[in-house]
Structure 1
Amino acid sequence: IELIEYCNRGIVIFEGKSYEKKCLCPPSYFGERCQWQNQRISLTLQIRPVGSFDNKFSIYDIFIYLIDNENEIIHSYEKINYVSSIDCNTKYNRYLLYPDQPKNTNYTYSIRIDIYEKLTSKYYASWYLYIPFPFLPVNRISTQIRIPSEKSQLSINCSIQCGTNGKCFKYFNSEQEFCLCDQGYSGRYCNTTYNCSCSSDSTCLNSSIC
């Protein structure tokens, strides 16, 4: 019983020859004994393909980002490998952690979901999720996205300037526009550079996201 309670919600391990007790914490907790709760977004997501027969047998890479609305910097992310014919009834539960604990109340955050075709790594579509009640330390959001039969097209007469390093699109579930940056660039207007650390046969979405 003592070992079970030692790490609160975590797992006890013994380190080194001295068998010193250490704790492995789940994503929702941190601290030497997993005694503090991370401020986070708890997202439950279901994904459904719609439209053509081919779309229901496609494979996608789905990226879920927690971004700040001012600079559109990615603070945490999760990746899902989605096979339409197998995973259409699956409910995914993912944690997105705020970069600071406690979180910085000077920023507002949102969730962006990008989908890429698995076999070609080509961009397909994006969704925007508003985070309600930003004062809460833990926000629980449940949603379903439906993958359209046709991929998103460039937004004509875009209201924002993406420069030469990005392209303007609309979110599939909103009239809001955003810049989809080329490899090596990030930020709201794709004017921030980064060095790609991915392998040569991968596509960089961020300095550490491949």
Structure 2
Amino acid sequence: MRQVWLCHQGTLIYVGQDENKQCLCPPNYYGNRCQYQNQRVSLTLRLQNENLGKFNVIGVIVGLVDNTGLIHSHEQFTYIPGPDCNTKFDIYLLYRDRPKDMTKNYTIHIEAYDKINLRFLTTWKLPVKFNFMPVNRESALLVIPSLHKCHTLCNSKYLKQQNGSHTKSCQCQSNHSRMISNSQDQCDCSPDSICVGIVNKRSICLCPLTKI
């Protein structure tokens, strides 16, 4: 009988002719038997759009960033307003260190781009409020505003609110990513893509529809 229980929350595999037992762990567990839980942020997202065509394809990048600007982890997914209008996106964001640095504050940065022309659409910042907890569970309904509303939102009152936990947002003062904490010349993305940031010396690239 194969001992599938050995890997707890992971998947047991057999390697080589001797069928040595190894465990493949999901992101939220680690250890040789997937017996330990990673400290993490568990995020559930739903998106809505305003005045975007239902055939738009939107690239969404989610990152866990500390108060020094360091990106700890990230995820990227594609949102199509028609088919995905009721879809919930479940994301695990891991801290870089075990255990995490309790002296730092952490924020979830979310950015949305039009995948057809790589035009920036909007950004959100969600604070991780309970830093003492090993697992933080967050959920948000994010509204992608129409472009003309982004223009009218750029006033002093709105800019003061940008550090809050609101979920309807626009980027007013810059055309490039807010998530990026390194110099753009450190990125190695292709010329027709966008560099959103760097994690563990690897670039986070947003590619057009024709590339991966």
* Aligned counterparts of 2:85 and 2:31: Cα–Cα separation in 1: 37
Gap runs ≥5 in structure 2: 206-212
Match of 1:204 in 2: 195
Residue 21 in 1 paired to residue 16 in 2? no
Q: 2:113 aligns with which of 92, 95, 116?
A: 116
Q: Could you tell me whether the CA contact under 8 Å between 1:114 and 1:126 is conserved in 2?
A: yes
Higher relative contact order (CA 8 A, sep 6+): 2
Deviations 1:7-54 (A, max 9, x none): 11001111122211100001110011101100000001111112x2x4
Helix, strand or coil at the partner of 2:73: strand
Q: Which residue of 2 aligns with 1:163?
A: none
1:101-124 superposed Cα distances (whole Å, 9 cap, x missing partner): 111111110101101111011111
3-state SS in 2 of match to 1:206: strand
**Normalising by structure 2, what TM-score?**
0.79
Report deviation, 1:88.
Answer: 0.8
* Equivalent position of 2:76 in the other structure: 79
CA distance in 1, matches of 2:61, 2:168: 18
CA spacing shift, 1:104–1:23, aligned 2, 3 Å: same
2:131 counterpart of 1:126 = no
Read off the aligned partner of 1:9 and give its amino acid letter: Q
User: Residue 86 of structure 2 corresponds to which residue in structure 1?
Assistant: 89
C-alpha deviation, 1:145, in angstroms = 0.5
* Equivalent of residue 106 in structure 1, options 103, 107, 114: 103
1:89-141 CA-to-partner distances (Å, cap 9, x unmatched) read 00111100011111111111010110111101111111111212110000111
Deviation readout 1:53-79 (Å, 9 max, x if unpaired): x4443211011110002x222111111
Within 5 Å, give how 1:23-102 maps onto structure 2: 23-50=23-50, 52=51, 54-69=52-67, 71-102=68-99
Contact preservation (8 Å) 1:128, 1:174: no
Distance 1:102 1:93 in 2: 23
- The within-5 A match list for 1:101-180 is 101-150=98-147, 152-153=150-151, 173=167
Distance 2:76 2:21 in 1: 32
Identity of aligned residues (%): 38
Shift of 1:143: 1.1
1:147 offset after TM fit, Å? 1.1
Distance 1:38 1:178, change over 3 A: farther
Task: Give the 3-state SS of the residue equivalent to 1:84 in structure 2.
Answer: coil
Match of 2:210 in 1: none
Q: Distance in 2 between matches of 1:14 and 1:85?
A: 42
How many residue pairs were aligned? 194
Q: CA RMSD in A?
A: 3.1
Residues of 1 paired with 2:170 and 2:10: CA distance? 41
What secondary structure does 1:209 align onto? Answer: strand
Tell me, in whole angstroms, the C-alpha distance in 2 between the residues paired with 1:209 and 1:180.
19
